[in-house]
């Protein structure tokens, strides 16, 4: 079986959720691939050094290098590693993450070309980035969605006697967690009995700001901190609406998981979300940072239970295509 070096942020700390490298890497291991990883170093300089060192020392032993590629700091990791792979004549495959990568293509066209043009393949987990990259002249892009193991997600029909909102993400400004608190307040002002639970680690200090906002608005919000996937899936049984408040996004796994669980999803209409959710068919899309839009969407879900039932069933049907048993064949083709 092929030997793979996977380059990405293989961190396991209080500030990070489970990353793509940890999910996809584990799934590929189960299929018999020999996986090696870089890097788990918390210090960014040491992390880059570890990535470079692994590429050099393993260059004669591996068949492919997978590179998780984002638009900010990780973009430069991908740049360094991709150029090193070219020098070492290693086949490298950037995996495109982050809803802000289209801006990076515009801001850094020469650096982007250095990474993506010479790649063995570029893999896009979303049709959004697939389309964006092809429009920018990159034709060596394959669509392979983020995978979940559907057997782990039991579909449950919800009732709406009360409104119990669930938000799952890391606390970061780009994900606009404050909006979730404002939506809760808006619902309570209109007389609804509503609760909110926010699940995820604090990645940039936003958690304290969100807590302070909840206190100033006199609303009670449950903050669980970082949970394992199994723990938040269990927790989800007590909630009936999933809200995704992000300002930028690509193809968030948490939204796919919510759809698999039978939670009606309300999300901002940004990045790759309209490529995942068909508005008012298998979810609801709302303008970015639009508190009133979210409140209106919540009321529509609660007041139209039969329509919501149809919507959640269609959402479940859609995300079956993300099951690893189907997705893995696409990876086999890329890693032939």
Cβ 282 vs Cβ 300: under 8 Å = no
Q: How far is Cα 297 from Cα 283, in angstroms, rounded to an integer? A: 10
Cβ 42 vs Cβ 13: under 8 Å = yes
Cβ 185 vs Cβ 297: under 8 Å = no
pLDDT at 13: 67
* Region of residue 40 (phi > 0: left; psi between -120 and 50: alpha; otherwise: beta): alpha
Q: How far is Cα 129 from Cα 124, in angstroms, rounded to an integer? A: 6
Q: What is the DSSP letter of 145?
A: -
pLDDT at 273: 96
Q: Is the peptide bond before 39 cis (omega within 30 degrees of 0)?
A: yes
CATH of domain 3-144: 3.40.50.2300
Element containing residue 268 per DSSP (H, E) = strand 265-268
| Cα atoms in the 13 Å half-sphere on the side-chain side of 152 | 16
Question: Which residues contact residue 154 at a Cβ distance below 8 angstroms, ignoring those fewer than 6 apart?
Answer: 261
pLDDT at 182: 98
Sequence spans of domains, the chain: 3-144, 150-321
Pure H helices in 31-160: 44-57, 73-87, 101-107, 109-116, 127-135
Rounded average pLDDT per 10-residue block, the chain, 336 residues: 93 74 94 95 94 96 96 93 97 93 95 97 96 96 96 96 96 96 98 97 95 98 95 96 95 96 98 96 98 98 97 98 97 95
pLDDT at 51: 96
Domain 150-321, second-level architecture = 3-Layer(aba) Sandwich (3.40)
């Amino acid at each position: 079986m092929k030997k793979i070096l996977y380059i990405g942020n293989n961190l396991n700390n209080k500030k990070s959720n489970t990353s793509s490298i940890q999910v996809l890497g584990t799934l590929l291991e189960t299929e018999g691939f020999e996986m090696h990883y870089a890097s788990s170093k918390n210090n960014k300089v040491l992390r880059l050094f570890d990535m470079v060192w692994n590429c050099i020392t393993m260059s004669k032993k591996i068949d492919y290098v997978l590179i998780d590629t984002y638009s900010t700091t990780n973009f430069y990791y991908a740049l360094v590693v991709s150029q090193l792979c070219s020098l070492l004549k290693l086949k490298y495959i950037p995996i495109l993450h982050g809803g802000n990568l289209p801006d990076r293509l515009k801001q850094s066209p020469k650096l982007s070309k250095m990474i993506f043009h010479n790649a063995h393949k570029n893999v896009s987990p979303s049709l959004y980035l697939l389309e964006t990259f092809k429009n920018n002249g990159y034709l060596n892009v394959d669509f392979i969605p983020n995978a979940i193991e559907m057997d782990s997600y039991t579909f449950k029909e919800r009732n709406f006697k009360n409104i119990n909102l669930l938000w799952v993400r890391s606390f970061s400004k780009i994900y606009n967690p404050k909006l979730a608190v404002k939506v809760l307040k808006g619902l309570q002002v209109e007389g609804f009995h509503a609760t909110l639970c926010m699940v995820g680690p604090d990645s940039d200090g936003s958690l304290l700001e969100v807590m302070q906002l909840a206190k100033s608005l006199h609303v009670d919000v449950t903050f669980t901190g970082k949970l394992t996937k199994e723990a938040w899936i269990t927790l989800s049984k007590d909630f009936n609406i999933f809200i995704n408040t992000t300002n930028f996004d690509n193809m968030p796994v948490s939204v796919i998981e919510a759809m698999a669980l039978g939670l009606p999803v309300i999300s901002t209409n940004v990045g790759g979300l309209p490529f995942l959710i068909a508005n008012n068919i298998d979810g609801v899309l709302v303008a970015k940072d639009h508190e009133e839009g979210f409140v209106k969407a919540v009321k529509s879900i609660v007041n139209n239970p039969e329509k919501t039932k149809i919507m959640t069933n269609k959402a479940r049907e859609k995300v079956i295509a993300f099951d690893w048993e189907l997705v893995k064949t696409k990876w086999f083709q890329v890693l032939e």
